[in-house]
Chains A and B, each alone.
Chain A
Amino acid sequence: MVKFKVNGQSVAFDGDGSTPLLWYLRDNLKLTGTKFGCGIGSCGACTVHLDGKAARSCSLPVSALAGRQINTIESLATDGQLSPVQQAWIEHDVPQCGYCQAGQIMAVTDFLKSNPNPSDADIDTKLSNLCRCGTYTRMRTAIHHAAKLQRKAGGAA
């Protein structure tokens, strides 16, 4: 039995510990915002936050999660208030098919914590999620915009 938290709720799993978190989220909890793209930790469509850090859930066995906190895209907006990254994504109309975008948003949210004022080079070296539709150009603009939103919010607080 492995106990951990998903979006603030306690969960317990007593199935096969090798089950990747991705499939536990999708099949057991029906949290389908976290996407399956490659299953080998390459595309980032399955990105969640593990104790606040971006992690690729397709490559995280549930057995490794005892006592950890998981957050998924479904928990990013609080009280109906979209996060700065989500707002920037809407402002710049980033998504096309949209399938990669939950993972992108989760990855960027974590990235901005350690890079509150990122350069293009920071973006290039630290973000590697795949977008088949090629929305990278808007994504880059939106990342800078989200950083600005966050700095503003931080400054006000």
Chain B
Amino acid sequence: MNQALTRREFLSHSLAGGALVVAAPLLGVATGRPIGVAHATGYQALSLLAKIHPDNNITFYYPSPEMGQGVDTSLASLFIEELGGDIDLVSVEPMPYLIERNAEGELQAAAVPQFAGGSTSISRNFPLLREAGAGVKQLLLQAAAEQSGQPIKQLRADKSYIVSDKGDRWSFGSLAAAAAQQSLPDDFKAELTPRDKWQVIGQHRKSAQLEKIVTGQPLYGMDIDYPGAKVALVARSPYLDGQVKSLDDSKARALPGVHAVVQLPRPPLDKYYSYLAAGVAVLTDDFWTAKKARDLLEIEWDQGPHSEESTDSLDQQCRSLLKGKGQIVRDDGDLGEALRKAHKVIRHTYQLPTISHAQLEPQNCIAHVEKERCTVIGPFQSPGGAGRAASAITGLDRLQIDVRYTRLGGGFGRRLSSDHAAEAVTISQLSGMPVKLIWTREDDLAHDFYRPMGHHEMIAAVDKKGGITGWAQRLAGRPKYYRRDGVKPEELFGADIYVDDFPAALVKNLQYEYMPAESGLPQGSWRAPAHTANAFVVQSFLDEIAEQTGQDPLQLRLDLLGKPQQLDYSGHGGPVFDTGRMAQVLKSAAERADWGRDMPPGHAQGLAVHFTFGGYCAQVAEVERLARDRFKVHYVSAAIDVGTVINPNGVIAQVEGGINDGLSTAIGQQILVRGGRVTTDNFDTYRMLRIADSVPKIDVIVVDSDAPSAGAGEMATPPLAPAVANALRRAGGQRLRAQPFRSA
């Protein structure tokens, strides 16, 4: 694909308001094939990538939605590096979302993916944005050569100027108009700057939109005003898959400022969700009126098929599932034989609860359905998904849907789903009014695509020397793929057990086994999905083996990893898992923390490491045991290898945030269900970390690497919980095998 994209049609550009306007190339939505520029005219119609203004400022339109992971900053660096631009002259805006249909009717979207999830924004944009920058630099060089009569070979770009060997300097801005007249030669091939010459990539950069944030600018979906939009709140079925049995809305309708009340039917139970729940929407002038009107609705609920479900019943179910047999999804060697021959068999069960995304900006979305068009504006990780949802509901063509995405007040996977778009579009269609849908916190915690819960039974066969000769992970839990279209029953395990995960291929006799549990809770992707669970159980269990066999936890892991080798990894983050890179982060984190040093009584170190989506992260946590189930994490050293780093400051921020997030979930978060309804529906019962419990000091070692860039948003969360549990045990505390660690 890259080669094809270096052809001249990769870039299209024009002049508007004196600025050189650069548009992103398009890709076939269905084929992923580059298809050049369909419209020779009107670059408005293409996705904007950058503008070079006459005053020499640059606007960069970042393609992936920004939710705190720093892509507005890092993606700009890729483009500016190859452009030879001055990064300090750059301001950023979100790239308008646009799709088109070519002459053959094929849908086209920008080749730079307008999607944020799975830490893919960097890896997918890495070559594309650099080639685009190089192309634009070429146009500027050509323009300068033509104007000055100097050979292009004697010109180069330097910090937003074209500089000649003779000593002339022309700002990019002064060349913008002339560059717009240039076109790339047919045989143009971007020559990318070699790594040792990088001036922008690899440098510490602060977030591009800091000043707007600290002054309270309207950046988020929640802040958007849409002309005529009525504020909508929905009374959703509190019962999982329940529906409205009877409704009396007379009191609500009588309230001044209430414009409409509409019923949202329950989404079909045999299909994937469009929106999450049946409900009744009130459309009003403002939030407070909507809140009061919603409280005045008199609704009797049909409690649906899960009214007996509770947290306890789900745990019971998993316990009995573990007593039976499940689907063997990986089976290496002969586990039975290894267990029979073992010097010692170690066996423990771990538990992970259901947790919610709890991004701080509650769900919201603006929608306006008109006869021939539909507008959807909101915090989307997947603008394309929002467009698909709107098209499916309205029956309008994708090109008639105008999707605009805002900055997200947190994503964490919650807004990979487009249920907020589907719900807002449905309400607008039913009411005939433009709406601004707002969820309250109660709505947000009680209606989510939750991180699945699960019980993991871990079994190890150990020989006389403490070597691990057999390994089994048996998981009974709620599949993330629940209700997903097109997923066969035997594929349900796929998002909860990644078959090539460590220690696969390192222990000769190894089995992974899966038992899906039944529940009405919707399931989805939560920052580093199943890795948060699997890192906890695998890394905790390794420490239990170390303890029972008298080995050092670091050495045991290094022995298991063995000599550096590249193992096949078929899941997201593959195609290889490099044991050498994992060993390296372990050693780096241990070295920084001075692993094994003397600690005061009641204090101890614990470590853990995990491979997540192409990145390796190891952590050493230093923990002090306090009374009962209390403890304090004083320090974490973290080493991360995510391949080539674009913005080390951004990576460090993601690691620090990921560590506090990991601690937040480990300590206190748990969604509880009783009588088929979620009962933990605000921050009084759904407990999240505050500054008092956060980690006051974190050292981050960013391991420099030539490997492809892997993004950094998810890798630091999985190792934290096991590192803390391991430290606590080494401090003389109980072995914590169930999250959340704090009972109340």
Contacts and interface: CB of A to CB of B under 8 A. Distances in A.
Given A33-B217, A130-B690, A138 B409 contact: no
24 contacts: A23-B287, A27-B231, A27-B287, A30-B225, A32-B218, A35-B409, A37-B683, A43-B441, A73-B216, A93-B207, A93-B653, A97-B67, A97-B411, A99-B360, A130-B683, A130-B688, A130-B690, A131-B660, A132-B360, A135-B657, A136-B689, A136-B691, A137-B695, A138-B656
A6 B316 CA distance: 55
A77 B689 CA distance: 29
Nearest to B66: A97
Interface residues of B, number: 64
Contact of B696 (A102, A135, A137): A137
B659 interface: yes
A136 B69 CA distance: 16
Interface in A1-54: 16, 18-20, 23, 26-28, 30-40, 42-43, 45
A27 B656 CA distance: 35
A95 interface: yes
A105 interface: yes
Contacts of A100: 360
Nearest to B442: A39
A97 B683 contact: no
A115 to B, nearest CB: 14
A114 interface: no
B653 A35 contact: no
A97 B222 CA distance: 13
> Of residues A76, A86, A129, which shows the largest number of chain B Cβ atoms within 10 Å of its Cβ?
A86
Given A38-B682, A120-B696, A132-B688, A96 B657 contact: yes
Interface in B640-686: 649, 653-654, 656-661, 663-664, 682-684
Given A32-B222, A39-B440, 8 more contacts: A35-B222, A38-B441, A39-B682, A76-B215, A76-B216, A77-B215, A93-B207, A134-B694
Interface string A126-154: 01111111111111100000000000000
Interface in B279-297: 286-288, 292
Contacts of A89: 210, 214
A90 B654 CA distance: 17
B451 interface: no
> Of residues B411, B694, B698, which shows the largest number of chain A Cβ atoms within 10 Å of its Cβ?
B694
B690 A129 contact: yes
Contacts of B222: 32, 35-36
A59 B460 CA distance: 53
A6 B24 CA distance: 44
Contact of B214 (A20, A31, A95, A124): A95
A90 B288 contact: no
Given A72-B216, A90-B211, A93-B207, A39 B660 contact: no
Contact of B653 (A32, A82, A138): A138
A67 interface: no
Size range of the chain A interface in the assembly: 35 or more
B362 A37 contact: yes
B360 A86 contact: no
B691 A140 contact: yes
A31 B223 CA distance: 9
Nearest to A44: B690
A33 B653 CA distance: 23
A111 to B, nearest CB: 11
Contact of A74 (B216, B411, B660): B216
Given A97-B360, A101-B214, A38 B694 contact: no
B93 interface: no
Given A37-B441, A89-B214, A137-B696, A42 B684 contact: yes
B447 interface: no
B649 A93 contact: yes
B657 A134 contact: yes
Given A82-B214, A134-B656, A134-B657, A98 B684 contact: no
Interface string B400-434: 00000001111110000000000000000000000
B329 interface: no
Contacts of B442: 39
Nearest to A40: B682
Contacts of B348: none
A37 B360 contact: yes
B661 A134 contact: yes
Contacts of B661: 132-134
Nearest to A72: B216
A20 B411 CA distance: 27
B123 interface: no
Contacts of A34: 216
A43 B288 contact: no
Contacts of B440: 39
B359 A132 contact: yes
Given A90-B210, A97-B67, A32 B688 contact: no
Interface in B175-229: 206-207, 209-211, 213-220, 222-223, 225
A50 B710 CA distance: 46
Interface in A65-118: 72-74, 76-77, 82, 86, 89-90, 93, 95-102, 105
Contacts of B689: 134, 136
Contacts of A31: 216
Contact of B68 (A35, A73, A96): A96
Given A35-B409, A38-B683, A97-B360, A102 B690 contact: no
B692 interface: yes
Given A35-B361, A105-B214, A96 B653 contact: yes
A44 B304 CA distance: 36
Contact of B410 (A28, A132, A137, A140): A132
B521 interface: no
A98 B223 CA distance: 13
B697 interface: yes
B358 interface: yes
Contacts of A137: 656, 659-660, 694-698
Interface string B515-549: 00000000000000000000000000000000000
Nearest to A138: B656
A123 B288 contact: no
Interface in B346-400: 358-362
A78 to B, nearest CB: 12
Contacts of B688: 130, 132
Nearest to B657: A134
A120 B527 CA distance: 29
A97 B684 contact: no
B394 to A, nearest CB: 28
